Structure 1
Amino acid sequence: MIRHNLIQKFDYTELPNGLRIISEYIPYVRSVSAGLWVEAGSRDEKDKKGITHFIEHLVFKGTKTRSAKRIAYEFDSFGAEVNAFTGKENCCFYINFLDDYLDRATEILFDMILNSRFSKRDILSEKNVIREEIKMHEDTPAEQVHDLFVGTLFDGHPLGSPVVGTIDSVEGIGREDVLEYYKTMFIPGHMVFAAAGNVKHTQLVEAVEKYFHLPAGSDRKRTAVEPQIKEAQKVVYKETEQVNLCYGTACFSKFSPKRYALGVMANILGGSMSSRLFQEIREKRGLVYSISSIYTLFAETGAVYIYAGTRPENVEKVLALIDEETKKIRHRGFRREEVIRSKEHIKGNVVLGLEETSSRMARIGKSLLDRDEILSLNEVLLKIDGVTREDMQSVFEETFGRKETVLTVIGPWQDSASLGPFQ
């Protein structure tokens, strides 16, 4: 059941089949963003890697009464924007539309998701599309290196599998696999329908009840698996102009109260133009175009790491400077002024990010699906303000202070013996 801390501006309903509906009424806009969030992602796949992402594609291929072309034409006919994405732990099918078209938007969206035909012809055709998507990803090392890092960090854990799968794994997916996985994973009790914009909750619920005809199905539980983090280094040689690298380790789960201190720490390290790594490595020395710190949180664990792209001759310098900055933090801690600046930067991003209805929909939908709670904006800002320098130092010691770190490199680099303190 949902925790009783939803503030009044959010309206909540749970249908008899288990589907949860959450909405935020914004009367001064003329648009609505709505999304069906499903607790199914790449971590839930067994031998059919990439099947969640495959289904995300297949639902756009047509239903029992609509072809793929007709779906596209109908959405375009009332100016709707529709898309979907798949992650490690969930997937989402979302639509942005004018507030006059609530009934039409929900009818087509639910028909597409709930009545997909999953034909053998569509499955064969879409395998080619995904093959091209994988090849395109492999041709973009600045993106691929992130997957390589997460896969190496969580090697042997369900989180280590790539969201899109591999060419071989996707090729091995058949229609029966799709139908079985859909039946098992796409059940209302593990879904949230979220909306934000100029739509009243009663109207939203009426539309959902009218078109969302999916029985409750058998309940399921995701198995928690603690990852075994080991120190590792992986270099993939590729003829490119730049070397792309990621360095980091595991951190906390999405339920941890330490996630706010982690956010402030990561922001100081490489989350903005005023961050330590950006100023020292890009602005002062001109060794990179892009450098940043990133963190992503999951049910049992998380990942925090630094990304950089640089010319091959600068790899050793960049790694040495990253090592130097992390040692400075470990021995000297965080400066008061940078903590204040980082908090204000994060709060500004949080507030500005909620200017769009799609951002608001994503926040409430994902929060309810992930944690069964939604904090108000003021509560989030207070959590950020409440982070202390001691909190951040503790988080730093538990992450970049540990021995089990991972370094991944993609590019024209073979001399792993020259990776200095990271070898």
Structure 2
Amino acid sequence: MTNTPNLSLPYLAAAQAQKHITVNEALSLLDALAQMAVVAVGATTPPGTPAEGERHIIGSGATGAWSGWDNSIALFSGGAWLRLIPQVGWMAWDVSASELLVWNGSAWVSFVPNLQNLSGVGIGTSSDATNKLAVSAAATLLNHAGNGHQLKINKAASGDTASLLFQTNWSGRAEMGTAGSDDFFLKVSADGSTFFETLRADGNTGAAKFPNGIDPERRSIGGLTKGGGSDWWGPVDPFTLSYSSGSPQALSQDKMYFMPVFVDRPVQLLGGFVSLGTASTTAGALIRCGIYRLGAPNGDDWDIGDRVADFGTNPADVAGHKIFDLATPQTLTRGWYVTTMGVSGAGAYARYARWMTPGLTRYYPHSSGTSAYPRVVAPQVFLYENASNAAITGGLPASWTGNPVSTMTSTNNWVYQMVFPKWREV
């Protein structure tokens, strides 16, 4: 064998004279084939003034010095063209097109790495057995091709999970998608272990459910006076649309009034006030108010739950706003509460507000003909029938032995508010 099997470089013969000629020829071939870059691809006519070492991939139908060299590599060396016949797997950089080509045995084709069925891809980081595609970057762009771009997350069955998980320091904080069914969900977490479902959209009907309720931003009612910066009086109810001032309500002596209040988000309870429009005619009479949790259902009624705060007493034999400030504010969680208020003397009247609350009120025509006007049916003020003098003068009990709601009379069908709690955002 006089030449190497792959690059066809000439061997030195035994006892060969002028060995430098063979060695130089081999070096010239290595110079041409190693890190090969061709001036152009597809030409069929040799250029007029080629540079020493210039290389071309010849096209079909070549003429002149390149005649019959189709698809071969033409090397200009020592003032003449030398034909290099490519072998399968040879690669060449096309300078004119900035493209890498490879000889596949029958044609020069663009070299494209096979990216199918990869075990993993890491961009700026390393992939692993779970995260086959891992990207560590400031941003990831998925651009449109045509009219838009669609990101698809597929799961094998309805009971499986297809979701997006948002993390803080590798701990889950929010997740959205479909899990365990084809309903769409959105849930959040503060610690990565306990999640609260915010939204669930039914996959069959499209109906949206809010398992933990809705907490929209509160908007103060026009004309409602707030006091003390971020503190305010009135219901913590963002759905309240309007209110109207009513006439003073007569307060029966030694009776407790109970009024439902819904707290729609955690707040700090600071106290409350009652507007005593008319003083009690009983000297030394006291007014006491406070707040309880709404208890459990009891047949068709509801029990009054545990006491949250006893606001204490104020003189009731003098009219005016009776302010109750808690020495220790109480944090209230979202839910239903019941305010309570009573006077130990006779003749007192308290002014009230009537709250028109969507979801809790409904309007219906009262009377008929030209005298008809709207009226409201809604939660009512409840009057505890048994004597409550001890609760007024001695302090509100931790719980009621009876059920005030089941032993009541309603004043009428308006929504009354006579105890106005004072709140602050937590």
TM range (shorter): under 0.3
Task: Answer 1 or 2: which has greater strand percent.
Answer: 2
Greater RCO, 1 or 2 (C-alpha within 8 Å, sep 6+): 1
TM-score by length of structure 1 reads 0.18
Task: Answer 1 or 2: which has greater helix percent.
Answer: 1
TM-score by length of structure 2 reads 0.18
Pair member with larger Rg: 2
